[in-house]
Amino acid sequence: MRVIKLMLRARDGYAVVEGIVVLGLSVLIGAALSAALLTQSRLARAVAERIAHNDAARMTLLVLPREIRLADPDRDVRASSADSLAGRWVRSSGTICASQGNLTWLRLRGIRAPDPAKDSLLLVSSQQETVHVLSAFVRDQAHCAASADEQIYRTTLSATPPDGAVAMIFESGTYYLSQRALRYRLGGEGRQPLTEEFLRDGLSTLQLVHADSSNVARFRISITLKPGLQYSTGRTEGLTVILPNGRAGS
C-alpha cells in the first residue's frame, strides 16, 4: 500500500512532462503516417496515370502498324501527312471460289462480317488489281464449301471477274494523331478517339516513306506523351515498320 502511494506520488510529479512527450510522439507518428499515406496515395495516382499513358502509347503503336504492315503504300494509302493517314484497311480476305458470268462467290474470313454499306471489294490477280462495289452481296453456299471460320458470299460484279484472284474486303478510313489522341474516321463520320487524350499534338507524328531505288518502303510512327500530373516530363516512343509490299523497283 505504501509502495503504491509512493508510485502514485512519483507519477503525479511527471504527469505534465509525460503528457508533452506523448503529445509530441503522437504528432511525430501522425505526421509520419500522414506522409506515408500521402506518398502512397501519390504513388497510386502516378501508377494509375502511368498505366493510362502506357495504354495510350501501346494502343497507338499497335493499331497503326497492324493496319499498314501488309498494305501496299502506293495503292492502299490514299494520303498521308504528319498527323493523318488515309487509306483502305482490310477487314476480311479470302479467294474467289466460283464464278458464273458476273456472279462471283467469295470464300472469306475476317475480323468482322462484310458490310456492303461501308465496305468494298478488292480483287488481286496476277496481272492487276480491281476494286468493286459489294453489289447484291449475300451469303450463299451453293457453289463452294466453307472451312472453319469461313463464310461464302455471292456478289454481282460490274465486270467479268479474273480467272482467279485473292479477294480483300476493305473499308476506307483515316487515322489521325490529333486532339491529344489516336482517332479514326470512317467515311463521313466524326473522328472517334481510340485512346485516352494523353498524346501531345505536333510532337506525335506519322511518316510514310515510299520505296526508291535504294530503300524499301517504311512507315515511321513517333508519339510523345504529355507530362502527367505526378511526373513533370513526358516521354517519346517510336516504331518503324518495313512494308514488304513496297519493295524498291516494284
Partner 1 sequence: MKTKRDGVVLLLALLCLLALEVTAVGLHFIAQQELRVAGSSARDLELRLAAQSAAARAVAQWPAEQLDSMGLHLTIPVPAAGALSTTGIRSSASIERLAPHLFLVRATAVSPLLESSTLGLIVATTTAAELAAEVTAAVRSNGAIHVGAQSRVDWGAVGCRGAHALEVASLADLDMAGGALAGPVASADSGGTWPPNALGSLTIERLAELARASAALASPVSLYEHDVTLSGSAGNGILVVLGDLALDGGTFVGIVMVRGALSLTGGATIQGAVLVDGGPLVLDDATVTFDSCAITASLDQPRLLGPFRPRSRRWIPLF
- Contact yes or no for 217/70 (Cβ under 8 A): no
User: Which cell numbers in the block locate residue 16?
Assistant: 505534465
Grouping H, G, I as helix, E, B as strand and the rest as coil, residue 34 is helix
Site string for partner 1, 164-193 (x = CB under 8 A): xxx-x-------------------------
Q: Which residues between 127 and 166 bind partner 1 (CB under 8 A)?
A: 127-129, 144, 162-166
Q: Which is nearer to partner 1, 118 or 191 (CB)?
A: 118
- Contact yes or no for 99/144 (Cβ under 8 A): no
Among 1, 3, 10, 111, which residue interacts with partner 1 (rule: CB under 8 A)?
A: 111
* Residues 47/49/53/59 CA torsion (nearest 10 deg): 80
Segment interacting with partner 1, rule: CB under 8 A, options 67-75, 201-209, 216-224, 227-235: 67-75
Strand partners, 29: none
Q: Which is nearer to partner 1, 80 or 93 (CB)?
A: 93
**124 binds partner 1 per the rule CB under 8 A:** yes
Burial 184-211 (b: 16+ CB within 10 A, else e): bbeeeeebebbbeebbeeeebebebbeb
Closest by CA position to 123, among listed 63, 75, 176: 75
**214 binds partner 1 per the rule CB under 8 A:** no
**225 binds partner 1 per the rule CB under 8 A:** no
Among 58, 78, 220, 235, which residue interacts with partner 1 (rule: CB under 8 A)?
A: 58
Catalog residues that contact partner 1 under the rule CB under 8 A.
29, 33, 36-37, 40, 43-44, 47, 50-51, 54, 58, 62, 69-70, 72, 75, 90, 92-98, 109-111, 124-129, 144, 162-166, 168, 244-245, 249-250
